[in-house]
Structure 1
Amino acid sequence: MNKYKIHKEICSALHQTYVAKNSDYGDSFSKTRLEFPESILVRLSDKFERIKSLYKKTDRQVKDESIEDTLLDLANYAMMEVVERRAEKLGRSLDMGARADSGNFAPSWPYEMKDEDCDVNHVSLPSCKCFKTK
């Protein structure tokens, strides 16, 4: 397996986690960010401190969290912040609009998804070539 394929699989898994957690938590990241615009700093700092702790300690109380899990959480938080920033640049809020059956998004802004134009697991960002202005 080459590194590009590994990267693609990780991104796909991150996307699935993002969809599932937003469904469960009601897009709490966006809501918190509206109230506390720099909240990403706290979330990233928490994860960074967790990674440092995991590297240092061998006898941990929480046994089911690994360095890799924490790194993936860190990556997803960073991507979530980018999504919110791009939404702000558009002057619109993002409607999650997740379709549970396909895992794809139906964005509420004036873009339509063209699945045949994109070979990635869709992330609802207008910079993706699968989003075309209506």
Structure 2
Amino acid sequence: MELNDLIGYIKELDLKAVDIICKKNHDYAAPESDKDNPLKLFKNLMACEFMGITKTEQGMLIRLTDKFSRLCNLLKEGHKIAVKDESLEDTVIDIQNYLKLLLAYRKVKKSYENPPQGQKPD
């Protein structure tokens, strides 16, 4: 594989990741139902905090732990998987998306909690 091939493959995976995150956000968070909430895109990920279980970031880490456990099992030689419609690639993309969601959540939360001087968040 050459560098151009690698970059092309990474771009292909990134396009899949964006498509998946859009579809899952629609299905899980339903952001159109809460238009005034700046954290609306993360509503499903914040459920653990709303229920008093743990902070949103820790909840995301728990989800990541589940994905990494699956990844470890998928990489085990001879391991037979029961869920056939979630491949190694799907699992890696999910991990990537959760990490990006974690960064995005923290960015939005920080800007909402600490707006620039003289500005209030919508």
Normalised by the shorter chain, which TM-score bucket? 0.5 to 0.7
TM-score (norm: length of structure 1): 0.59
Structure 2: give runs of 5+ residues left out of the alignment.
30-40, 114-120
Task: For residue 53 of structure 1, report the CA deviation from its aligned partner.
Answer: 1.3
Higher relative helix content = 2
In structure 1, C-alpha distance between the alignment counterparts of 2:79 and 2:49, rounded to whole Å: 38
Structure 1: give runs of 5+ residues left out of the alignment.
93-108, 111-134
In structure 2, C-alpha distance between the alignment counterparts of 1:45 and 1:30, rounded to whole Å: 14
Higher relative strand content = 1
Q: Which has the larger radius of gyration?
A: 2
In structure 2, C-alpha distance between the alignment counterparts of 1:9 and 1:60, rounded to whole Å: 25
Aligned: 1:24 with 2:27: yes
Q: Once superposed, what is the RMSD of the aligned Cα atoms?
A: 2.3
Match of 2:35 in 1: none
Match of 2:60 in 1: 40
**Which among 7, 31, 38 is matched to residue 10 of structure 2?**
7
In structure 2, C-alpha distance between the alignment counterparts of 1:91 and 1:16, rounded to whole Å: 26
Q: Which amino acid aligns with 2:88?
A: I
Match of 1:70 in 2: 91
Rate the CA distance shift 1:11–1:79 in 2: closer, same or farther, 3 A. Answer: same
Per-residue Cα deviation, 1:44-87 (whole angstroms, up to 9, x for no partner)? 10001101111224322222222111111111111111110110
Identity of aligned residues (%): 30
TM-score (norm: length of structure 2): 0.64
Task: For residue 34 of structure 1, report the CA deviation from its aligned partner.
Answer: 4.2
Aligned residues: 94
Q: Map of 1:1-134 to 2, 5 A cutoff?
A: 2-26=5-29, 27=41, 28-32=43-47, 34-35=49-50, 36-37=54-55, 38-56=58-76, 57-91=78-112
